Structure 1
């Protein structure tokens, strides 16, 4: 029997890993931590305090920053948020670098902060970094400065992998997986659904316009991440044909998605992956989405409809086509493309390869190229 691995997961220090999730990254880390623990591995989690105790993960807590009055009033003092982030990740990485080499078998970084990548060469424990976004200035600087040494890299979609090719020419693609037991096949319903973080770049106001053109009621669910945008562009549109259901816990959200006729996905930016797309499809709910970023890698004519980015009229016209689709066929297509089991299996394979041969950072073909089930298609 293969012995259990000791795995450290690094997430955001801003948000706890618990329901209701702040966003897709937090949901992804929650599901991964849960799946790894259920597979018998020992998981330690770095995230904001108050993460879900049911994950049965040890917590990698760090000392909070308490600056002196002199430091606080210095002219070079950046924002408190920046300093808090810097201190949290600096403390964590120094602990991992100075700690006993046998404390962890592998470190899996999901944070968007630059310090885990910048300090990776200090580690004796192999580290995998999953890239959840296209390039950001700080993260790109860290990878450029280290030339990617000290870590191996995976990306959540072919689109995201290609966006990093100027620095990381070969990168593993491991799509975020969705647990079908937690997103069960639903019977559908009459209303459309839009769910996710309520921000301008997610653009639920465009979903409202498309639903009204199609003559169907729309339900919106998710955290109000930009209160000004919500007050200006969403709240005034609420009424009998547009309902805001709130920021729901997982069970309620999965039920709502599974009892919806179709899901509208309206990104105004290039989605690195599109977790809400996968979640809707696993529930059997067909998706009508703007074709941006990684979304076209998940949606095809067996699971929904893609329309040109920003084209509300095309989205409205595609909704009746999506409503005729077999929910079972949509679910089965999602199981092929967005399987949580396949995701965890691929990550475990990568972990084992890194542990067996931690010195190889850029020559292992198994790591550098997607497995067939994770290639963009």
Structure 2
């Protein structure tokens, strides 16, 4: 088994890296690349044209972007646009596969799962969302049956949504801790961080902040403009709370000064990278006990878990936030979510795949 692997990582086709359109997948991909390169592996990244990944070289692939999975219905037919970037990336991968030991798919799309059997180089799939469509469930189930060990997920909760949880390697996530500064003495504001889209439940955070009479800072990609306009009509001060989609350095300068991060997902969040970004700054996390955040937050120690959709529960947790030790939050991030820890988990997954081909 080679100690240094040649890896091809294929990004999400919904938007260029750095655009924010890929949500947490972008941050995960960046951190996996950094961690694996630090451990001596050769990493090549395929991504849509216009992508940026710091100093990491990218093979940029042109083509039309893919629709986002979370905006489709469970029974929406599989669609691939003409001259799709998804198809173009996988055509490149097929032609270059002999140059790599493992190909790693980060796209939550049907096509890569279907193509698994047509590759000689093993294709590993890091599944980045919970169950959203019947077609994807079928494709994932087929890979689970035919290619054991080829599936990875953030959390057990996420994997269980597909009904084949035991087929998944649970890999969690990570951040570059050096990019996040600890703050022991915050201001009065709360933070909400994520894509502004209905499944993220921003209205619950706005309502809870108003009930608690606490200022709220909203950060993230404005994905659904109609939804945002409805929120602004309902909460007239929302527009003044929105600080935009900020790069990591600026984001953590705002986040670390907040008393808590409020997470209000209406769906089964696969992980919730924003939670570990907050913890790295020493910021406790108040989250609905749904999906990934329920596996991250140590309730009563590094935050509070609240029954899903319970706005009054959020208000009660806000009132109790000052009981928590912010240093415990930073310690959890350092212990569980370092780049090296993430890279080791992925590395072990790849070695398992290669040893059971």
TM-score of the superposed pair, with normalisation by structure 2: 0.87
Aligned to 1:128: 124
Q: CA RMSD in A?
A: 2.5
2:26 alignment partner in structure 1: 26
Q: Match of 2:323? A: 324
Instruction: Please list the CA deviations of residues 82-112 of structure 1 after superposition, one character each: whole Å capped at 9, or x if unmatched.
Output: 43388433343344334352x0111111100
Aligned to 2:231: 233
Per-residue CA distance 1:216-242 (angstroms, 9 max, x = gap) = 111111111110010111365253996
Q: Deviations over 1:324-348 (max 9, x none)?
A: 3111111112333333321111101
Q: Tell me how far apart the structure 2 counterparts of residues 32 and 267 of structure 1 sit (CA, whole Å).
A: 25
Supply the distance in 2 between the matched residues of 1:268 and 1:333 (Cα, whole angstroms): 25
Output the CA distance in 2 between the equivalents of 1:31 and 1:19: 16
Partner SS state of residue 177, structure 2: coil
Determine if the alignment matches structure 1 residue 157 to structure 2 residue 155: yes
Match of 1:302 in 2: 301
Quote the residue 1:75 is aligned against: none
How far the C-alpha of 1:53 sits from its partner, in A, is 5.0
Which deviates further from its counterpart, 151-160 or 179-188? 179-188
**What's the secondary structure of 2:104's corresponding residue?**
strand
Separation in 2 of the partners of 1:223 and 1:283? 21
Could you tell me how far apart the structure 2 residues matched to 1:351 and 1:55 are? 24
Aligned equivalents of 1:341, 1:38: Cα separation in 2: 8
Distance in structure 1 (CA, Å) of the matches to 2:110 and 2:80: 13
Match of 1:210 among 203, 208, 232: 208
For 1:36-185, list aligned pairs within 5 A: 36-52=36-52, 54-59=54-59, 61=61, 64=63, 82-84=79-81, 87-99=84-96, 101=98, 103-135=99-131, 136-146=133-143, 148-150=145-147, 152-166=150-164, 169-185=166-182
Q: Any residues of structure 2 matched to 1:271-286 within 5 Å, and which?
A: 271-286=269-284
Structure 2: which 5+ runs fail to align? 65-75
> Given the superposition, is the C-alpha separation of residues 128 and 273 from structure 1 closer, same or farther in structure 2, using an over 3 Å criterion?
same
- Write out per-residue CA displacement over residues 271-305 of structure 1, whole angstroms, 9 at most, x where no aligned residue: 11122112111211001111111211111221001
Residues of 2 paired with 1:235 and 1:249: CA distance? Answer: 28
DSSP-derived class of the 2:182 partner? coil
Q: Report the Cα distance in structure 2 between the residues aligned to 1:282 and 1:317, rounded to whole angstroms.
A: 24
Segment of structure 1 superposing worse, 89-98 or 299-308: 89-98
**DSSP-derived class of the 2:126 partner:** strand
Question: 1:9 maps to which residue?
Answer: 9
The answer on whether the counterparts of 2:232 and 2:238 sit within 8 Å (CA) in structure 1 is no
d(CA) in 2 for partners of 1:217 and 1:263? 12
- Alpha-carbon distance change, 256 to 280 in structure 1, aligned in 2, over 3 angstroms: same
Partner of 2:311: 312
Greater displacement, 236-245 / 280-289 = 236-245
Q: Which runs of 5+ in 1 are unaligned?
A: 66-78, 360-377
CA distance in 1: counterparts of 2:30 and 2:41, whole angstroms: 15
1:165 and 1:8 map into 2 onto residues whose CA distance is 28
Q: Is the 8 A contact 1:185 1:331 kept in 2?
A: yes
- Answer whether contact 1:34 1:55 (CA < 8 A) is retained: no
Q: Which residue of 1 aligns with 2:346?
A: 347
Distance (whole Å) between structure 2 residues aligned to residue 270 and residue 243 of structure 1:
26
- Map Cα deviations across residues 180-204 of structure 1 (whole Å, 9 max, x no partner): 1122322322211111101111111
SS in structure 2 of the partner of residue 263 of structure 1:
strand
TM-score (norm 1): 0.82
Q: Which has the larger radius of gyration?
A: 1
Q: How far apart are the structure 1 equivalents of 2:191 and 2:127?
A: 28
Q: Residue 157 of structure 1: CA displacement?
A: 0.3
